[in-house]
Amino acid sequence: MKIGIIGYGSMGRMFLEKFVDKRIVEQSELYVSNRTFEKIIDLNKIYPKINLCENNISVAKVVDMVFICVKPKDLKTVLSEISNVIKEKYIIISLNGCIFFEQIEQICPKEKITIIIPNVAAEVNQSITLVCYNGFLNDVEKDLIKYLLRSFGAVIEVSEEEMGMSCELTACMPGFIGSILKVIIEGSEKRTSLNREQIIKMVTQAIYGTTKLLLEKDMTFEELISRVATKEGITEEGTKVIEERLPQIINEMFEKTFEKRRIITERAIKDFSN
């Protein structure tokens, strides 16, 4: 199967590297294009057998499956470019969770379409990649897509209706966690002579160990808290503050992210209708 990658940003690059380095796809079966061709022109120095294409049509007319790794505002343009050259049994994979099947099918009707959302942990093969399909893919094609996506982590199939919250819980979560840890580190710096490097090492290792403990021991959050926050102890005082005050911040966070998602989706619906 020949596979195309349109858009060589961080996600496009990640797909190429994982597929090739893990021998999931042969170099000669990969076709890559980018809006700025100069950005990919030196790729053959690293991957000599990859097919570099000067435009999206050159990719679309020869491949069987294409990963479209562009921003939401550019998806309609790309789909319009390739819609007349795609072949029977073609599979289109979009990385935009705010643009639904209904919009994509306005340009590519009756095509096999998949929406996937990886997260940044794919770089270390620990992505939680969301996937949902329209009604035209069969089980063999779905399994093939999951096989490709497992080259950089776990895969969870969700309905299109649940893609919003699922994105917040997976693709957005590293950013949320990073922001929380940044606040913790900055708060602790004011109360210690430890340098920033030492603090970061302590906190990140604690996070890594905690996650490993939860997963490997199948421990609940309540069990974890009870193990650490002993009655009338130091940790208990901290957890009380978190449980009393953090819910308001989390609720506000989700309100903001859902509103932004709504705006982007409405903009896409309007754009695709024109």
Q: Is residue 274 part of a domain?
A: no
Same domain assignment for residues 60 and 182: no
Token pair for 211: 């996650």
| Residue 87 banded pLDDT, cuts 50, 70, 90 | confident
Same domain, 148 and 257: no
232 burial class (0-12, 13-18, 19+ CB within 10 angstroms)? Answer: exposed
pLDDT single digits (tens) 145-195: 999 999 999 999 999 999 999 999 999 999 999 999 999 999 999 999 999
Together in a domain, 68 and 154 = yes
The band of 274, judged by pLDDT with boundaries at 50, 70 and 90, is confident
Among residues 126, 146, 170, which one ends one of the domains?
Answer: 170
Same domain, 96 and 220: no
Residues 119 and 20 reside in one and the same domain: yes
pLDDT at 89: 84
Number of folded domains in the chain?
2
Return the CATH number at 237: 1.10.3730
Do 12 and 88 fall into the same domain? yes
CA gap 147, 31 in Å, rounded: 19
Give one DSSP letter per residue of the chain, joined into a string: --EEEE--SHHHHHHHHHHHHTTSS-GGGEEEE-SSGGGTTTGGGTSTT-EE-SSHHHHHTT-SEEEE---HHHHHHHHHHHTTTPPTT-EEEE--TTS-HHHHHHHSTT-EEEEEE--GGGGGT-EEEEEEE-TT--HHHHHHHHHHHGGGEEEEE--GGGHHHHHHHTTSHHHHHHHHHHHHHHHHHTT-S--HHHHHHHHHHHHHHHHHHHHHTT--HHHHHHHHS-TTSHHHHHHHHHHHHHHHHHHHHHHHHHHHHHHHHHHHHHHHH-
124 with 20, same domain? yes
Instruction: Please give the average per-residue pLDDT across 61-81, as a whole number.
Output: 94
Q: Is residue 273 pLDDT above 90, yes or no?
A: no
Pick the last residue of a domain from 141, 170, 199: 170
Alpha-carbon span 26 to 273, nearest angstrom:
38
* The pLDDT value given to residue 219: 96
Please compute the mean of the pLDDT values over residues 237-261 and round it to a whole number.
96
Residue 210 confidence (pLDDT) above 90: yes
The pLDDT of residue 189:
95
Across the range 241-258, mean pLDDT stands at 96
199 pLDDT higher than 90: yes
Distances (CA, A) of 213 to 18, 122, 125, 176: 28, 21, 19, 21
| Residue showing tokens 């994105």 | 167
151 and 83 in a common domain: yes
Decide if pLDDT at 247 tops 90. Answer: yes
| Same domain, residue pair 31 and 138 | yes
- Select from 139, 154, 170 the last residue of a domain: 170
For the cut 90, the answer to whether the pLDDT of residue 117 exceeds it is yes
Residues 69 and 52 in one domain: yes
Could you tell me if 119 and 200 lie in one domain? no
Q: Can you tell me the mean pLDDT for 19-25?
A: 93
pLDDT of 254 above 90:
yes
Most confident of 129-133, 230-234, 267-271: 129-133
Integer-rounded Cα Rg, in Å, for the chain is 22
Q: What CATH number is associated with residue 109?
A: 3.40.50.720
**Rounded percentage of the chain residues whose pLDDT exceeds 90:** 93
Mean pLDDT of 190-218: 96
Q: Domain range for residue 50?
A: 3-170
